[in-house]
Amino acid sequence: MPKRLLRVLVVDDSVLYRKVLSDVLSNIPGVEVVGTATDGKVALAKISQLKPDMLTLDFDMPELDGLEVLEHVRIDHPDLKVVMVSAHTKEGAAITLKALELGALTFITKPKTENPIESKNILLDQLVPVVKEIIAQIQLPQYLVSQDRTISQPAVSDAATGKLTSAPGAGRIQIIAIGISTGGPKALAELIPFLPEDLRIPVVIVQHMPSEFTAALAESLDQKSALNVIEAENSMELKRGTVFIAPGGKQMKVVQASGKIMLEVNDDPPENHCQPSVDYLFRSISKVYGKHALGIIMTGMGSDGVLGLRLMKRLGAQVIAQDKQTCVVFGMPGEAINAGVVDLVVPLRHIAAEIVHRVGV
């Protein structure tokens, strides 16, 4: 029996974008575009009628805007996978982050080019991995992870009491390095604000996002957190109690120069199709900090971060992975667990407590 196709509803008030997105999606194997909607009110009616698996959703629409539609979907259709379609603007980035916190799976960005062929190719590159992940989640729910993983240094989390027992390494932790992708903004909003103001070490983060969006993410997290959260810039000195987010469209690494540890932000090429790349950052962490680092791999598609974590582990660093149940996508943590480079797997709600435990705040 052939596999059921992924049913997609395209929602956009622009005739052009409804056409473009429908054409692009129809050319992805395994996808069936079951309809389009011109505004949020029509979209909600068609969701009930057509029963799509996935929704591409624009923000600025008459009747009901994208955020209002998302609120209804979250309540009435919680299993529907929503992919926001965002503009490359500061306002678009801020609204996109709000949508991700409200439960949207991820987002794609409208191409800046006016060349129709180039525009379709850019959208195709963004949509293919998203579609593949959604198809995997719907048709093969156990495909990414089995229940009997081998953890290199076991630790136990007592979900009922919240008590954590672990086996931290011998090195005193001097930096926390986080790699995260799909589902990241929501997860970070549930992690960073729970880190204490007196955290004695810096935190560096690679979140896969375009350039306009990482600045908005830093601003949003900074408003929620006791720690200072900023988008990193080249030559910044790493300071205790500060969270540095790698800027989108750049690579970020830590370097040691003149007795100081600094951030280098540069235009090195993408790794794993990612810029910034988790592997790129983690590789530098292993070189500069060795056993004195704590690596954390969280929700996201793909395997970015595994190679960097392998280097970190060889030098004695500690590694935590977010568990499957609290990940939007278990790709990155699942790959790290499979590679045997993870010490501890915990739910999102326990990561902040585990960081405090290991750092010894």
Q: Which is the catalytic residue, given 119, 181, 220, 225?
A: 181
Reported as type and span, the H/E element at residue 220 is: helix 211-224
Active site residue 181: yes
Coil, strand or helix: which one is 345? strand
Q: Does the annotation mark 79 as catalytic?
A: no
Please confirm, yes or no, whether 304 is among the known catalytic residues. yes
Tokens of 214: 């990482």
Q: Is 216 helix (H, G, I), strand (E, B) or coil?
A: helix
Contacts of 257 (CB under 8 A, 6+ apart): none
Catalytic residue among 13, 208, 279, 303: 208
What 3 state SS string does 241-296 have? CEEEECCCCCEEEEEEECCEEEEEEECCCCECCECCCHHHHHHHHHHHHHHHEEEE
49: burial class by Cβ within 10 Å (0-12, 13-18, 19+)? exposed
Measured CA to CA in angstroms, residue 139 lies from 136, 142, 320, 326 at distances of 5, 9, 29, 19
Alpha-carbon torsion angle 285, 331, 96, 197, nearest 10:
-40
Q: What is the CA radius of gyration of the chain?
A: 21
Select which of 13, 53, 304, 343 is catalytic.
304
Enumerate the β-bridge partners of residue 266.
251
Contacts of 292 (CB under 8 A, 6+ apart): 171, 172, 173, 174, 175, 317
Across the beta sheet with 175-180, the strand order is 228-231, 242-245, 203-207, 175-180, 293-297, 318-322, 344-346
> Catalytic residue positions?
181, 208, 304
